[in-house]
Chains A and B, each alone.
Chain A
Amino acid sequence: MLYINDLTKKYGSFTAVNHLSLHIPEGDLFGFVGPNGAGKTTTIRIVCGLLKASSGSVRIGSSEATVGTKEMKRLIGYVPDFFGVYDNLKVREYMDFYGSMYGMCSRDIAKLSDDLLELVNLSDKKEFYVDTLSRGMKQRLCVARALLHNPKLLILDEPSSGLDPRARVEMKELLKNLHSMGKTIVISSHILSELSEMCTSIGIMSHGQLITAGRIEDIMRQAAGGKRIHIQIASGIEIAVRLLQEQVGVIVESVRENEIIISNNNTDEQISALMGLLIQNQVVLTGFYREEGNLEALFMQLTGGDSQ
């Protein structure tokens, strides 16, 4: 869906984005992570046509449209981290205004607005002035506004910043909902736990460079070292410890009453064979799971402990 190829943005001698290449598949909920000044917002603003890149290209789907053109703008819905509102403008009029800016006719805007306001739980606020809404409501309204022209790609720059816990949960649910509807979403956030819960893939940026990107499971596995396994045993723990210690590439890290934690460099097939070996030797297994990674730890490790 989104192809970013060798994107660079320089401000004099300072390089904000350094040869960034990234592909986000259709239907993904992609999380952009990185410390302040990493270049996330700059990248997002370039994609949205709010900033001119020094070099590189951005493409959406099969469209050949270039950044900043009307064709490209039609494909993107943008929700900034903070946005102001107009005094004396009602929610309905706010939607009407932005719909007209995409060249939509009033009838279509009215119909779509109703549906979208329903989706973001604001249908009862249609006649309210926008500046009287809470921050969370404004943010949801902004999402509805960004969806008005039915973009292929929805980009949100830190949508949860400044929101209270309840509003954050509502925003998270809304994004999950949109993702389940098949929308491709790119979200930049500092709240890593939130991203790990809802994103299907993430990319970590630091100093203008993309350090790592991929499916969330792979990243989490990478975060855990991918190699720690918990084996829960009902009986035969001594036999199990002996057998595991005999295996090449397996290190028994700890042994508890009913659980052994091992770290290993083996493949999934080798691990499967190892479990089979334990069962053959009369070890009664009650559980077996791979340890989930900690995204925050990985983030700190990859970004060299930069403060967020």
Chain B
Amino acid sequence: MRILAKPIKINPIIKKDLQVTARSMRLSWALFAYEVILTLAFLLALAIIQSDNNSYYSSRNIYSYLIYLFPVQAAVQAFIVALIVPIITAPSISGEKERQTFDIMLTTCMSPFSIVFGKVVSAVIRILFFVAAGMPIMALAFVVGGLEWSSLLYFILTIILLSVFSGSIGICCSAFCRKSIVAVVLSFIIYFVIYILTFVPTILRFLWSKGEHAGESMLFLLINPAVFFEEFFMQIMTGESAFGVAGSNFDKSEVGVITYSLSQGKTWMFLSAACIFILAILFMLAAAWKVNPMHSSSKNNFTGKSNRNKRKNKDVQ
């Protein structure tokens, strides 16, 4: 009973960040913009399906194509989330440093990891505001039937994973950069590496095998959230593995045991989710290590007053 009576302690950073965000007009404008984009995407997708229906399909089966509004909406939401999260998290620590509130934070009993974790979670919760706001539009795809409600739950879990991953990249850059703008730019560079450059080994291997298969080079794509997202929707919509279709409809001897095993069932999806989550934790640990004054390199922390003043003057110039 005593355990039950004990109040649950919320990370104070989450509470403060949400409090400050809720009072800002920026949140309202951002939600408005988000809703507008989602509505436009919905209308556009609907228009395309209708025009296709007029030209190719009979009016009888248009409903079977309306189901694709769900992945379209989900992809648009995921894309916006992937764009928004680093913009929220990348300035979170560097912003505290710029505002000179971070030192006080570090002198409290909060551990560096709790600070970093709190920042990421508050970003994820803010993203959930957006996801919740997008739900009514998303729910339109359910009107025609054919979709399970559990799909929506999986979608939310996917968005949370994506937010944690993007948030951890943002927070890591924020910890390593003094200026927020540099942190945001660096986040998008890391995005480019993870989302785009992880395709390079696969493409090269594919070309090497004269367009037959990409083999184990596809393992690099385990950390690519875009591939994970595609796999997730392939599983939901068709029950098949995108990885299996794209890379491993081959014999074990052709693509290797690992690649072959991964293409079976939902293995790729779960393994990819685990890899993305582990990578997110590693980014958060790196950020916590960096902001911990007892660990990080002393050169970067030379904050003697005369030196700080010099830096300030330099900034002004």
Contact = CB atoms under 8 A, between A and B. Distances in A.
B304 A98 contact: no
Contacts of B19: 88-89, 93
B99 interface: yes
Contacts of A54: 298
A105 B304 contact: no
Contacts of B24: 87-88
Contact of B16 (A81, A83, A97): A97
Contacts, number: 108
B9 interface: yes
B305 A80 contact: no
Most chain A CB neighbours (cut-off 10 Å) among B7, B19, B107, B111: B107
Contacts of A12: 299
Contacts of A48: 107
B108 A98 contact: yes
B20 A87 contact: yes
Given A12-B299, A83-B104, A51 B293 contact: yes
B20 A88 contact: yes
Interface string A73-89: 11010101111111111
Contact of B20 (A50, A80, A86): A86
Contacts of B111: 70
A80 B12 contact: no
Contacts of B299: 11-12
Interface of A: 9-12, 16, 36-37, 39-42, 45, 48-52, 54, 67-68, 70, 73-74, 76, 78, 80-89, 93, 97-98, 100-103, 105, 142, 145, 149, 158
Nearest to B301: A51
Interface in B64-113: 98-101, 103-111
8 A-B pairs closest in CB distance: A84-B99, A100-B12, A101-B108, A88-B23, A68-B294, A37-B306, A84-B100, A36-B306
A52 B298 contact: yes
Contacts of A40: 305
Contacts of B103: 50, 78, 80, 83
B29 interface: no
Interface of B: 7, 9, 12, 15-16, 19-20, 23-24, 98-101, 103-111, 292-295, 298-299, 301-306, 309
B12 A73 contact: no
A42 B304 CA distance: 6
B16 A68 contact: no
Given A50-B293, A81-B305, A89-B19, A74 B109 contact: yes
7 contacts: A10-B298, A52-B301, A76-B107, A83-B103, A84-B101, A85-B101, A88-B23
Nearest to A12: B299
B294 A41 contact: no
Nearest to B104: A83
A84 to B, nearest CB: 3
A45 B304 CA distance: 9
Q: Which of A45, A73, A98, A101 has the most CB of B within 10 A?
A: A101
Contact of A103 (B9, B16, B23): B9
Interface residues of B, dominant DSSP: loop
A73 B12 CA distance: 17
A9 B111 CA distance: 23
Given A41-B305, A49-B293, A78 B298 contact: no
A98 B106 CA distance: 11
Of the candidates B16, B99, B109, B304, the one having the most CB atoms from chain A within 10 angstroms of its own CB is B304
B109 A97 contact: no
Nearest to B96: A84
Nearest to A48: B107
Contacts of B9: 100, 103
Contacts of A39: 304
Most buried by B among A16, A36, A86: A86
A36 B305 CA distance: 7
Contacts of B309: 36
A80 B100 CA distance: 9
A102 B109 contact: yes
Contacts of A10: 298
Contacts of B295: 52
Which of B7, B9, B23, B294 has the most chain A CB atoms closer than 10 A to its own CB? B294
A67 B111 CA distance: 13
Contacts of B298: 9-11, 51-52, 54
Contacts of A103: 9, 109
Given A81-B305, A88-B24, A101 B109 contact: yes
Nearest to B112: A68
Given A12-B299, A83-B100, A73 B304 contact: no
A101 B101 contact: no
A10 B295 CA distance: 15
Contacts of B305: 36-37, 40-41, 81, 158
Contacts of A87: 20, 24
A15 to B, nearest CB: 12
Contacts of A102: 108-109
Given A37-B306, A41-B305, A42-B304, A97 B104 contact: no
Contacts of A98: 104, 108
A68 B9 CA distance: 23
B104 A52 contact: no
B12 to A, nearest CB: 4
Nearest to B293: A50
B103 to A, nearest CB: 6
Contact of A101 (B99, B105, B293): B105
